[in-house]
Amino acid sequence: MLVLEGLLPFVAPKVWRETFRRITEMADGQLRFFGLTSMLIGLGLLFLVK
């Protein structure tokens, strides 16, 4: 997982910085929805791999 998380800052640090800036400006509800969506996608991928 850390390999995937480190890929964007390694390949495109300016894009990563801008993305991170936008995330910090999100409202709490948006951030929670983003987190929930990420968790569901991760669970779906685990289900497909198994």
Question: Cα(20)–Cα(40) distance, rounded to whole angstroms?
Answer: 21
**To the nearest whole number, what is the mean pLDDT of the chain?**
92
Q: What is the pLDDT of residue 5?
A: 84
- Reported confidence tier of residue 15, pLDDT bands at 50, 70, 90: very high
The domain tally of the chain equals: 1
Residue 6 and residue 14 in contact, taking contact as beta carbons nearer than 8 Å:
no
| Nearest to 1, CA basis, from 37, 36, 33, 41 | 41
- pLDDT of 30 > 90? The answer is yes
- Strand ranges in 1-50 using DSSP code E only, listed in sequence order: none
Residue span of the structural domain in which 38 resides? 2-49
Distance, CA of 39 to CA of 25 (rounded, Å): 21
In this prediction the pTM is 0.66
